[in-house]
Amino acid sequence: MRPAVNVPIWGQPRVRWLSIAFEMQFSYYHCMATKTVGFAVADEDLPRLERLTQKYGGGNRSAFLREAMRQMEVLERAERLSQLQAYGSERSAACGVSHEQAVRVVRRVLKGR
């Protein structure tokens, strides 16, 4: 077994350096359990993508995509809540319960009375 030599990475042969880089990259992807997916972006949308990636992803497109997915989930929940609210209003109207009456019932239930 050879003793460890403290040589800067740029002083090592290129093949060894690439081997180390590959090992590090492989272990990173192995731990992260990521998968590369491809999608097309129109040429005219590239400047927008780069600007938004810089602002919301720190220049990292993967980080930007994760943030965009979080924001889309927020919108999805808001849409679902709106649908539930419309359903509740429809059901209340069908039962002859006014909005004010429904609010009083909800407040009473939430206060535990």
DSSP annotation of 13 reads -
Give the residue extent of every domain in the chain: 9-107
Q: Which residues of the chain have pLDDT under 70?
A: 1-32, 113
CA distance 107 to 16: 69
* Confidence (pLDDT) at 106: 87
Handedness of CA 38, 41, 47, 52 (dihedral sign): negative
Letter string b/e over residues 36-48, b meaning 16 or more CB atoms within 10 A of that residue's CB: eeeeeeeeeeeee
pTM of the model: 0.58
- Contacts of residues 81-88 at CB distance under 8 Å and 24 or more positions apart, as own/partner, are none
